[in-house]
Amino acid sequence: MSSTPMDKPSVLFVCVHNAGRSQMAAGFLRELGGGRIEVRSAGSAPADTLNPVAIDAMRELDIDITRNSPALLDADTVRTSDVVITMGCGDTCPIFPGKRYEDWDLDDPAGQNLESVRRIRDDIRGRVEALISDLVPDTEAQPGTSTTETPQPTEEALHE
């Protein structure tokens, strides 16, 4: 990845309309990533508005994606991202050497009912959780939470 240990890794989610799959993935990454990962999303042919069923499915989990709007994918956004997750954008996603690319084979929620979109949403959540574990593993020491420290002997114990 191009990020340094002090930088946040940057993830770009790309789908055709940037109205459903990529927006749900971005919503999960923002919510579950705890600010440790920069989140971006774009589409090769962005829709005018977000998919209302995707909004409803995410709202069920108390994740609000309504502040987002579909954005056009551009080469600079890809170039400045560490990880690019495609979701059916085909050959329209530019490829740059040194980037990590993943293609998530997911159904398109466009025109689907809430029950179907829930299944897509839940699949995306599992993938995002695995991505977070890979990019920012919990093995990094957090103040006061280390489980690898062994107790140090007291001064008195050293002299016994």
Could you give the 3-state DSSP secondary structure of residue 126?
helix
| 45 Cβ contact list (under 8 Å, min separation 6) | 16, 17, 92
**Is 15 an annotated catalytic residue?**
yes
Residues 78, 93, 120, 132: which is the catalytic one? Answer: 93
89 catalytically annotated: yes
Q: Is 62 a catalytic residue?
A: no
Give the CA count within 13 Å in the CB-facing half-sphere of 4: 1
Q: Which of 11, 12, 14, 15 is catalytic?
A: 15
| DSSP annotation of 82 | S
- Choose the catalytic residue: 25, 57, 89, 132: 89
Structure tokens at 96: 């740059």
The residues assigned a catalytic role are 15, 89, 93
